[in-house]
Amino acid sequence: MAVGMCCTRFAGRMSRCKPMVTEDGDGPQLARCLTALDLVALGVGSTLGAGVYVLAGAVARNNSGPAIVLSFLIAAASSVLAGLCYAEFGARAPKAGSAYLYSYLTVGELCAFVTGWNLILSYVIGTSSVSRAWSATFDGLFGGAIASWMASVAPMNLSGLAPYPDVLAVVIIMLLSGVLSFGVAESALLTKIFTAINVLVIAFVMVAGLVMGDPANWNIDPDVVLNNTNTTLTEDDLGVGGFLPFGVVGMLAGAATCFYAFVGFDCIATTGEEVKNPQRAIPLAIIVSLLICFVAYFGVSAALTLLMPYYLLDEESPLPAAFQYVGWDPARYLVAVGSLCALSTSLLGSMFPLPRVVFAMARDGLLFRWLSRVSKRHTPVAATLSSGALAALMAFLFELKELVEMMSIGTLSAYSLVSACVLILRYRLDEDEGRFVEHEQEEEEQRWRMVLIDLLSPKSVQPTKTTARRASLSILTASLAIVVFCVFTAVCHKALASGTVWAAIIAALLLVTVFAATMLVWRQPQSQASLAFKVPLLPFLPVISMLVNVYLMVQLDSSTWTKFAIWMLAGMYTYGSHRRPGRFR
C-alpha cells in the first residue's frame, strides 16, 4: 500500500504541468530591455559562427561539390520547421527557459527536467569547444606561440585530457561571463558589434566570389582533370563532375551535416523574459535570423566553389586557400578578423542562454535555489558565473572533440520535443472556452453516432476533452512510430538499400502509421486562442520536423550515445534526490 502511494505521488509529480502564465510572477524576475534587433543579432551571432569559414569547404570537398548550395537550402528548410515551432511557443510563453519551459507547460515536470538537463549539457560543451576554437584562432595569428609555450611549461599527458591547459580559453570565458553578469543590454551591444563585423566580412566574400569566380568550376569534367599527368587525384575525389559530382545521395549527406550549421537560433527563445515585446519580437527574430544565416551560408558556399574547384578545397581553412588560389592572398587577414568575430558571437550565443535555462530550473525548484538569484540590474548573476566557471573548467582541462556530438543529441531532442509540444497545446482543451463546448459534446455523444465518423469529423469547432485526448494519443502514436522508423532505418539500412522485401514492408507500415496518426490529429478541432504567431500547416510541419530531428539523432555513433546515457543517469539522480529536505533549498 505504502509503495503504491509513493509510486502514485511520484508519477503525479512527473506528469504535472506548469500553468500557462505570461505575466511576471512573484519569483526573481529579469529586466525587459531587449528589442527585436537585439534578438536578431543574438540569433545570427550564435548561428553564423565559425562554421561558415570551415564547414562549407569540408562538405563541398567530401560530399556535395558545387551542390553544397542545395545542401544548405535543405538544411535551412529543416531548421525553419523547428524555428516555426519555437516562434509559436515564444509568442505563447514569453518567459526564460526555452524548450525546458515549453515542455514543463505541456508534458510535465520530468520531461521538462530532462530537456533542461540536456540543454545545459549542450550549452556547456558548446561554450567550452567554441572558446578553445577562439583560443586556437587567436594563437594562430602569432604562429602558435602561446600553445607551444603552454605545452612546454604545463604538459598534461593523461588520457582523455587536452595536451596542455588552455588558459586563454578560460580567460575569454570568464571575461564574457563578467560582461553577461553586468547587464544584458551591454552584452547585446557587444553582440551587435561583433555580428556586424562578421556580416561585413561575409558580404565581402560573397562579392569576391561573384567578381573573381569562374562558372566553369560548377561544370568540371573529371576526365580532363584525371588525364593531367601531374595529378594525384582519383575518381573518388572527383565523382562524376558537374554540379552534382557525388549525386543526390552526396548532396543529401551534405545537407545532414549542414543542418548543424543552423543550430543556435533557439537561444532567442531563452530571452522571453528580457524582451520588451516578446509576443511579436521573438517570432520575428527567429525567422529573420534564420533567413539571414541561410543567405550567408548559401552565398559563401557559392563563392567558395566558384573561386576554386571543389576537389582542391582546403578542409581546414577553405577561404584563405581560395583567395590565395585566385591571387588575393592579403584577403586572408580579413577572413581571420571575421573568423574571430564569428567565434566571439558564437561564444556569446552559447553563454547567453545557458544561465537562463539554469535560472529557470532553479526558480522552479529543480536545481539549487541560490542559482535563481539576480543582481540589482536584474541579471541571473549566480547562474551566469556558475555556468561560466563550469564551462571554463572543461575548456581548461579537456579536449572536447569527442564530446561535441553530444551537443547534437541535446539540441535535436529539444527541437523534437518542442515540435510535439506545439501539437499538444494547439489541440488541448481551453479551460475558459471549453465548458459549454464539452457539455454540448457530451450531449452529442449520447446520440450514439458512429465511432469512425466521430473520430474523423468531430462536430465541435473547439477542442473538448474527448478530442484533446484523441489528439494526444495520436501524437504519441506518431512520435513512437517516428522513433521506431528512424532506428529501424539506421539498423537495417543495408537491407533497405538492397531492396529486401521484409525491410521495405516494415518501413512502409511504420510510415503509414505516422501518416494515419497525423491525419487523425488533423481532423480534430484546434484551439481558437489568439496568438501573435502560429505555426502554419498543422500538424504536418511539426511532424516532419520531428522526423528530421530524430533521423539525425540516430545517425550519431554508439560511443556518443553511451556518454549521453551516463549524463542522463547523473540527471536522474539529481532529479530523484532534489526533494530531500534542504537539498536544493
Residue 374 lies in a domain: yes
Burial label, 125 (beta-carbon count in 10 A; 0-12, 13-18, 19+): buried
Average model confidence (pLDDT) across the chain:
79
Residue 231, pLDDT above cutoff 80: no
Q: Please report the pLDDT score of residue 482 as a whole number.
A: 94
Q: What is the pLDDT of residue 9?
A: 52
Rounded to whole angstroms, the Cα distance separating 84 from 1 reads: 47
Is residue 345 a contact partner of residue 127, using CB atoms and an 8 Å limit? no
Q: Give the phi and the psi of residue 161 in degrees, each rounded to 5.
A: -100, 165
Query: pLDDT for 237-263, tens place per residue?
Result: 788 888 888 888 888 888 877 877 787
Query: Which residue would you say has higher pLDDT here, 404 or 427?
Result: 427
**Long-range Cβ contact pairs of 476-479 (< 8 A, separation 24 or more):** 477/513, 477/517, 478/513, 478/514, 478/517, 478/518, 478/521, 478/543, 478/546, 479/420, 479/546
- Domain-embedded: residue 515: no
Q: What is the pLDDT of residue 519?
A: 92
d(CA 412, CA 43): 17
Which pLDDT score is estimated for 508? 93
- Asked whether residue 223 is domain-assigned, the answer is no
Domain that holds residue 96: 28-212+243-399
User: What SS3 string covers 399-415?
Assistant: CCCCCHHHHHHHHHHHH
Respond yes or no on whether the N-terminal peptide bond of residue 539 is cis (omega within 30° of 0). yes
Three-state SS for 398?
strand
Rounded distance between C-alpha atoms, residue 203 and residue 261, angstroms: 18
Quote the CA–CA distance of 361 and 367 in Å, as a whole number: 6
Q: Residue 460: what pLDDT?
A: 60
**For 196-215, what is each residue's pLDDT tens digit?**
888 898 999 899 888 888 89
Please state, in angstroms and rounded to a whole number, the distance separating the CA atoms of residues 437 and 444. 10
Q: What is the percent of the chain where pLDDT is above 90?
A: 10
| In the block, residue with C-alpha cell 489568439 | 530
Instruction: Report the pLDDT averaged over residues 293-318.
Output: 88
Task: Give the Å distances, CA to CA, from 231 to 39, 239, 317, 322.
Answer: 49, 15, 22, 19
Give the best-scoring range by mean pLDDT among 88-102, 146-160, 434-448, 529-543. Answer: 529-543
Residue 154 belongs to a domain: yes
Q: Which of 173-187, 402-416, 560-574 has the lowest mean pLDDT?
A: 402-416
CATH of the domain at 382: 1.20.1740.10
pLDDT given for residue 435 in this prediction: 42
**pLDDT tens profile 79-137:** 888 888 888 877 777 676 677 888 888 877 888 888 888 888 888 888 887 888 788 77
Percent of the chain clearing pLDDT 70 (strictly above): 84
What integer pLDDT is reported at residue 298 of this predicted model? 92
HSE toward the beta carbon, residue 181, CA cutoff 13 A: 18
**Domain membership flag for residue 141:** yes
457 within a domain of the structure (yes/no): no
Output the pLDDT for position 266: 78
Is the pLDDT assigned to residue 15 strictly greater than 60?
no
Q: What band does 433 get if pLDDT is binned at 50, 70 and 90?
A: very low
pLDDT given at position 448: 41
Tell me what pLDDT residue 182 has.
80
Residue 417 confidence class, pLDDT cut points 50, 70, 90: confident
Is the model's pLDDT at 500 over the cut of 90?
no
In a domain, 378, yes or no: yes
Q: Residue 96 has what DSSP assignment?
A: T
Among all chains, which residue has been given the C-alpha cell 545570427?
44
Looking from the CA of 366 toward its CB, the CA atoms found within 13 Å total 26
CA dist 46 and 191 (Å) reads 9
Q: Considering only residues 194 and 558, tell me which one the structure prediction assigns the higher pLDDT.
A: 194
Establish if 449 belongs to a structural domain.
no
Nearest CA-CA partner of 30 in 355, 284, 367? 355
Number of structural domains (the chain) is 1
432 vs 195, higher pLDDT: 195
pLDDT(440) > 50:
no
